[in-house]
Structure 1
Amino acid sequence: MRLKFIFSAFLIGSAVALLSSCSAGGDNPGYEYAPNMYHSFAYEPLTQEEDKPNTINANGMNMREPVAHTIARGQLDFAKYSFTVSNASYEAAASLKNPVVSSATVIAEGNTLFNINCSPCHGDKGLGDGTLVADGKFPPPPSYDSDRIKTTPDGKLFYSIRYGKNLMGAYGTTLNPEQIWKVIHYIRTVSGPYKGAATASNASN
């Protein structure tokens, strides 16, 4: 009888313990074993870790460079826009046509990108009166409503933005080809449509 009582008490106590352990723990995550499986160490891309051994990538790099001539996902249609920095490439770019279909949304996106990247020199309306020009940091660039811009093909505008031209720096690492074409759509809302072949003086400048 005594043994039966002890056994029953043990079963009841075990049941109470199990049921009480199933209550909600709130924000308590409980115990973690091998926490690195839950909280991995993140590395910044294209950086080096000199204090940790890296037997996979050379020089402690956290990422490998893409294979030469790799085309990013979704950029196949823009892969042809690769030129060298030269006058010959600038002239060759004249044959490029804007592949992005113009729309109110595209022009609005181009306007936003223009305000972020271009307006400090070109001004909010493309009149060449940006803040850097007003501060005397740079001479004014051509106004977008000038004949010089109106007679410059879209392809040459693309080249100038992507690779730079004269005092203008290259924005190819800041804007992808699709974004550049959107900016050009916005520029054409200021300059008006392309008016034909650029003059020799425009091409040389």
Structure 2
Amino acid sequence: MKSTLKITVVLIMLISIVSCNKKTRRNYQYMPNMYESVGYEAYQESDAFANGVEAQLPVEGTLPRGYSLYEIEDTNEGYEEAKATLKNPLDSTQVDYEKGGPLYGIYCAICHGNKGAGQGHLVKTEKILGVPSYADEGRAITEGSIYHVIYYGKNSMGSYANFMSEEERWQVVAYVEKLKADLEKK
């Protein structure tokens, strides 16, 4: 008797579940805003603020998108201008090779090598070719040219402006200058 009752209850449950599922009509939506969200346009007028656009104005003192604090352009003329005029704003007391060295190791040594001789891992495995030493005779690199190349990139080297802050880029420039001096001593 108990087993017949159990079988009957299970059959009734299965029939009710199957009978409620009708493929030709939509199921119930208990929270329709999650299925069909209200569309808002960017910068549309809103009555949420007193003057209508308060939330859409930039905060005072912020920089607009696309604005660069580094004002020398990414052109050959800009490179030459940076090479001739740009100087490291960090004085000798602010230069910290303990900061610049690890940053150089992370971002630069893979191609330029740990000593700046142009023999990094990617060069040795021939993934990238033509990375010269910092001390090559034909390479008159300066603080400005190093910073410009870090900021914009050059040839197959990409920009590292998004990876390092301005102060970190100048620390790397100082470290590259140190490596160049060490290579020229040899």
TM-score category of the 2 structures, normalised to the smaller one: 0.5 to 0.7
- Tell me, yes or no, if structure 1 residue 117 matches structure 2 residue 107: yes
Shift of 1:100: 1.1
Shift of 1:103: 4.3
* TM-score normalized with structure 1 length: 0.54
Secondary structure of the corresponding residue to residue 119 of structure 2: coil
1:102 aligns with 92
Task: Flag the 1:131–1:55 CA change in 2: closer, same or farther, 3 A.
Answer: same
* TM-score normalized with structure 2 length: 0.59
Identity across the alignment (%): 33
Secondary structure of the corresponding residue to residue 96 of structure 2: helix
- Tell me, yes or no, if structure 1 residue 161 matches structure 2 residue 163: no
Within-5 A mapping of 1:114-193 = 114-149=104-139, 151-192=140-181
Partners of 1:124 and 1:65 in 2: CA distance: 47
Shift of 1:129: 0.9
Shift of 1:71: 4.3
Q: What is the aligned residue count?
A: 133
Q: Do 2:95 and 2:174's aligned partners in 1 also have CA atoms closer than 8 Å?
A: no
Task: Flag the 1:55–1:83 CA change in 2: closer, same or farther, 3 A.
Answer: farther
Q: Which amino acid aligns with 1:147?
A: E
Shift of 1:66: 6.5
Shift of 1:102: 2.9
RMSD (Å) for aligned C-alpha atoms: 3.6
Shift of 1:135: 1.3
1:202 aligns with none
Shift of 1:84: 2.5
Task: Flag the 1:92–1:104 CA change in 2: closer, same or farther, 3 A.
Answer: closer
Shift of 1:57: 8.8
Shift of 1:83: 2.9
CA offsets per residue over residues 98-131 of structure 1, 9 Å max, x none?
Answer: 0012348611211110001101101111111111
Q: Do 1:129 and 1:140's aligned partners in 2 also have CA atoms closer than 8 Å?
A: no
1:84 aligns with 73
Partners of 2:126 and 2:73 in 1: CA distance: 31
Secondary structure of the corresponding residue to residue 128 of structure 1: coil
Q: Which amino acid aligns with 1:167?
A: S
Structure 2 segments unaligned to the other structure (5+ residues): 1-33, 44-55
Task: Flag the 1:112–1:51 CA change in 2: closer, same or farther, 3 A.
Answer: farther
Q: Do 1:102 and 1:185's aligned partners in 2 also have CA atoms closer than 8 Å?
A: no
Q: Do 1:127 and 1:145's aligned partners in 2 also have CA atoms closer than 8 Å?
A: yes
Q: Do 2:122 and 2:128's aligned partners in 1 also have CA atoms closer than 8 Å?
A: yes
Partners of 1:140 and 1:192 in 2: CA distance: 21
Shift of 1:88: 1.3
Structure 1 segments unaligned to the other structure (5+ residues): 1-49, 73-77, 196-205
Q: Do 1:121 and 1:130's aligned partners in 2 also have CA atoms closer than 8 Å?
A: yes
Shift of 1:147: 3.0
